[in-house]
Amino acid sequence: MAWPLVNLTVTFFFLIFLLFQSCLSISLPLLLPPPHPRARPAMVLPLFPSPKNTSTTFPDSSHRLLRSDSNSSHPYARMRLYDNLLSRGYYSTRLWIGTPPQRFALIVDTGSTVTYVPCAMCEKCGTHQDPKFQPELSGTYQPVKCNLDCNCDKDRDQCIYERQYAEMSVTSGILAEDVISFGNLSELSPQRIVFGCETEETGELYRQHADGIIGLGRGDLSIVDQLVEKGVISDSFSLCYGGMDVGGGAMVLGGISAPSDMIFSYSDPVRSPYYNIDLKEMHVARKKLDLDPSVFDRKFGTVLDSGTTFAYFPEAVFEAFKDTIMKELNSLKQISGAVPSYNDTCFSGISSDVSQLSKTFPTIELVFENQQKLLLTPENYLFRHSKVQGAYCLGIFQNGMDPTTLLGRIIVRNTLVTYDRKDSKIGFWKTNCSELWERLHVTSAPSPSPSPFPSPSPSPSPSSSSGKENSTFEMPPISAPEESPIYALIGTVNHGEIEIGEISLDLALNVNHSYLKPRLVMLLEFMAKELGVNGSQVHLLNFTSEGNISFIKWSIVPSGSATYISNTTAINIISRLAEHRVMLPDDFGNYQLVQWEVKPPSKQTWWQRQYLVVLLGIMMFIIAGLIASGIWLWSRRRQAQIPYQPVDGAAREHELQPLQS
């Protein structure tokens, strides 16, 4: 009797397991597919295929998000900025050096002229974001030979450089020339540029995460001066740093059409070796500080430096500023900074929402010689306390005994700053730098100049039956029409909406296969968060690579018990990826949406619709059977415990015991 019970128990638990598995299939985990047989480590190329999909319309390639200066036919190099002030203390961009290109993350610095990266022969260099530059792997590398225009090494064989920065860190190395590429958003073709091949670094340069520095200052070694000298860009560049909680931003080498409401300050190119502005007054909460205008013109004057994190005022300016702003903030609770030795001025008990800061903190106005005013909102002079939520600290300090007024990156967050060197002026335009291209919405740029590098062929599309495509693997600068692109959804209409059961997405990233593979789950979880979907909705379908490019095919399915994905959600997901409005962490490089597809919900059979009910019914039947079997076995066991005697059987005689008297 025990054997049928065992059988029923095993069957019961097997059905429970099946039910558990079927429930899990509703939200599959992010599983890695087996590696592609052709996957191999490779250096990163700044090239991507263009998006294509038969069910969507993309803008014509002659339309661009940005155009060159209307007075010039020169192209420009449009580049992304990364990082932020709080986590890194700087903004960086990407350059590719050599043939084939090797990628580097470089701090954007308008106060420096030399552009340098650590080289393979550098034994006194720190560990940075990317591998060191390997000259022997570049077919176009050439050291600069000793000449009258440079400092030479002790053997008088090669030109060398050495730079010391304000925090006393030092970089030194040899000067070399190679082909430099500006990324897949650039209209400017790769150019031969002289750069620093670093052989030694000290101090903060040794410890920083970024690989090196891109020098945008005035000087023969400046990358801007070299490009202007070649006649490939106009004598101008622009920077736009993201806001307090956003980071990143944009950078353009070359001239762009200035917005009509951009304000300008004269910038005297012979006043100092740095980019200075003609500052005359400062207002806090609309109150003019009682200062002699000449205080802003001492030593180097008022310098705008993208290589400096905060703002540093001369003693008189700082004291007047701090006295005025402390009176405005006397109702706030003052606390110590995250690092007590820095003696920061911080305030707590404030909203964590940056958009609400202007209700608590006053605005600051910088007044130029021409009486134009640059308005600074709280995010232009505050930074978040790194240890206390809802606390902020002043990002303006005294510049020691130095009478120079130094305006760092914090002053121009969410501000497009154009360094118009041709006309000796610097322009400022308040904007949201994370949406700069959409806000400029300028079209009719010249076509991108051709690249001297051949374009590799794309990876076969996972859904391609032939395994090959005839398109070339080439990506022009990201385009944008005067109106928003239309993403046409095709499918069965139900109650005015297309029924969408799955969004299939093919993404290309310029990160090599071996680096990306262990970080795939992290990437897709980040994508899910950025796109506002649950991680259980994201399914990895395929992961391949071709040379330097990794391809990810993944899908998004309805959440929970939902049957469809709403049309609004689908268009939002597709448009954000197609228009590069999802900002990936630095480690994942740039991306391109190669193609996408919306699929209808799969037609469910009667079993797929009712399987849970059927399984629950079977389970209840089995449970009832097990209970009945248990009761039956229990009753039989009770009966077996009572001895059975026939009615007419002989009874056993028992000996009588005498009674105790």
- The CATH code of the domain that includes 548 is 3.30.70.150
Residue 557 is part of which domain span?
485-599
> Structure tokens of 543?
């992961």
Q: How far apart are CA 22 and CA 265, in angstroms?
A: 67
Q: How far apart are CA 33 and CA 40, in angstroms?
A: 16
Pairing of strands 302-304, 276-277: antiparallel
More confident of the two residues 628 and 138: 138
297 is known as an active-site residue: no
Regarding whether 167 and 98 lie in a shared domain, the answer is yes
Number of compact structural domains in the chain: 3
Residue 114 reports pLDDT greater than 60: yes
pLDDT per residue over 529-547, tens digit each?
889 888 889 999 999 887 6
Q: Which of 278, 305, 420, 506 is catalytic?
A: 305
Average pLDDT, integer, range 59-68: 32
Regarding whether 359 and 498 lie in a shared domain, the answer is no
Residue 350 reports pLDDT greater than 80: yes
- Confidence (pLDDT) at 15: 53
Residue 276 reports pLDDT greater than 60: yes
Q: How far apart are CA 118 and CA 137, in angstroms?
A: 15
Q: How far apart are CA 500 and CA 267, in angstroms?
A: 56
- Confidence (pLDDT) at 442: 42
pLDDT per residue over 581-633, tens digit each?
787 776 677 787 888 888 888 765 666 556 667 778 888 888 888 888 888 88
pLDDT per residue over 558-571, tens digit each?
987 788 888 888 88
What confidence category does residue 36 fall into, taking pLDDT thresholds of 50, 70 and 90? very low
Closest to 220 in 3D by CA, of 148, 288, 126: 148
Q: Which of 69, 109, 225, 235 is catalytic?
A: 109
Regarding whether 346 and 400 lie in a shared domain, the answer is yes
- Confidence (pLDDT) at 628: 83
User: Cβ atoms within 10 A of the Cβ of 45, count?
Assistant: 21
What confidence category does residue 267 fall into, taking pLDDT thresholds of 50, 70 and 90? very high
Cα within 13 Å of Cα(277), Cβ side: 28
What confidence category does residue 195 fall into, taking pLDDT thresholds of 50, 70 and 90? very high
More confident of the two residues 542 and 456: 542
Regarding whether 154 and 120 lie in a shared domain, the answer is yes
Lowest mean pLDDT: which of 297-306, 468-477, 512-521, 572-581? 468-477
Residue 205 reports pLDDT greater than 50: yes
Regarding whether 294 and 154 lie in a shared domain, the answer is no
**One-letter identity of residue 571:** I
**Domain contains 408:** yes
Regarding whether 389 and 333 lie in a shared domain, the answer is yes
- Confidence (pLDDT) at 605: 61
- Confidence (pLDDT) at 210: 93
Regarding whether 401 and 257 lie in a shared domain, the answer is yes
- Confidence (pLDDT) at 583: 76
What confidence category does residue 392 fall into, taking pLDDT thresholds of 50, 70 and 90? very high
Regarding whether 422 and 275 lie in a shared domain, the answer is yes
Give one word for 405, left, alpha or beta, with left for phi > 0 and alpha for psi -120 to 50. Answer: beta
48 neighbors 510 (Cβ within 8 angstroms): yes
What confidence category does residue 67 fall into, taking pLDDT thresholds of 50, 70 and 90? very low
- Confidence (pLDDT) at 206: 94
- Confidence (pLDDT) at 62: 25
Lowest mean pLDDT: which of 43-47, 132-136, 452-456, 608-612? 43-47
CATH of the domain at 382: 2.40.70.10
pLDDT per residue over 3-23, tens digit each?
454 455 545 555 554 444 444
Regarding whether 292 and 154 lie in a shared domain, the answer is no
Residue 137 reports pLDDT greater than 60: yes
- The per-residue pLDDT of the chain, averaged, comes to 78
More confident of the two residues 9 and 33: 9
109 is known as an active-site residue: yes
Regarding whether 259 and 210 lie in a shared domain, the answer is no
Q: How far apart are CA 82 and CA 196, in angstroms?
A: 22
338 neighbors 387 (Cβ within 8 angstroms): yes
**Domain contains 573:** yes
188 neighbors 445 (Cβ within 8 angstroms): no
Residue 213 reports pLDDT greater than 60: yes
Q: How far apart are CA 594 and CA 371, in angstroms?
A: 49
Model pTM score = 0.61
Regarding whether 171 and 117 lie in a shared domain, the answer is yes
The 346-348 sheet, strands edge to edge? 333-335, 346-348, 392-394, 382-384
**Domain contains 18:** no
- Confidence (pLDDT) at 130: 92
- Confidence (pLDDT) at 74: 82
Residue 325 reports pLDDT greater than 60: yes
